[in-house]
Amino acid sequence: MRYAVIDISASSLSLLVADINGELSVQFTDRETLSVLHYAEGRKLSERGIRKIAEGLKRLKGVAAKYGAEKCYVISTASVRNFENYEEVERELKEYAGVELNLLSGEEEAFCDLTANSGAPEKSLLVDIGGGSVELCDPAGTGSSSFLDFGTVALKRKFVRHTHPSEGEARRIKKYVKKSLEKLAFGAPGEYESALLLGPAERAVAEMYADRYGIKGEAELEYKKLKELRNFLLASSRRSLLIVKIAPERMDTFVTSVVALCAVLKYYGIERAVCSPYGVKEGYLLLVAKGGREDKETPLLLASAKPEEGENS
């Protein structure tokens, strides 16, 4: 059966269309840059923000239909979960875009990550640093998962005065992450030999790492070089230009993401990391297909046209 899932995250709306017949086979992906936080009014999402999300969801629903999706689900994680007017957002997205929104808790996000990466190498730690939370999983060891109820957006709001953190602000972020991990008590320093990085923020970091060090293809990130990249981004006047080149939609949080990732790797004593192609969306669809979740479906109109030229997987 062909499934589609649309994820509302802090920096984008992303679509995954996949066939699931025992295993998951990705057929098409699409993404629409949209910073939810630009439309925040205090702890609430503005009416304009709700309308912008609705417009993006309607387009991605159409794309899912064109690619033959038989079932479609719309999910959101901490990016919407943390708004005080969540119920209003849910109601109006249903009215404007015809979607049924399924809200994932931090525990559910982590379990989706774990499900998507069940074949991870021994002694590897899954790390997913998002805008609203940080998920940690131990797929090949205890099979457990946990999360920190803050992400790069909260770190930026709490510690960063301007667009990018200063060296002093970065030190405070590192200290905060370390203390939070100590309280979480998930795994132990020295327990893991490598990290498997999940999510678009980590992939953007890996892309800049590869660009910085002239690596072609999939990059294995060495902690020492990642720390050098972090220090360069904290000090260089060229950092904004580099971020525009690699991940313009993450201008506000990119450097904070690198600082947080370095802090997590240092805490666990991990010297190398690679990116996983599978994350929350893949794990979510596997759970749905296997009956592990019974969430609300979003209806799709029958496709009336072939995919437009230029759309590709």
Beta bridge partners of 14: 7, 31
Look-up of token digits 């925040």: 40
| Residue range 231-246: mean pLDDT, rounded | 95
pLDDT of residue 292: 92
Euclidean distance between the first and the last CA atom of the chain, given in angstroms as a whole number: 18
| Residue range 249-277: mean pLDDT, rounded | 96
Cα separation, 26 vs 251, in Å, equals 29
The Cα-based distances of 312 to 25, 30, 300 in angstroms read 15, 8, 20
- pTM (two decimals): 0.91
Look-up of token digits 């904004």: 240
How confident is residue 304, by pLDDT bands cut at 50, 70 and 90?
very low
Report which of residues 302 and 141 the model is more confident about: 141
Indicate the average pLDDT of the chain: 93
pLDDT of residue 307: 46
Can you read off the two tokens belonging to residue 166?
């200063």
Cα separation, 306 vs 226, in Å, equals 43
Q: What share of the chain is helix, strand, coil (3-state, %, to 5)?
A: 45, 20, 35
User: Which are the contacts of 135, defined by CB distance < 8 A and separation ≥ 6?
Assistant: 106, 109, 110, 113, 126, 127, 128, 145, 146, 147, 198
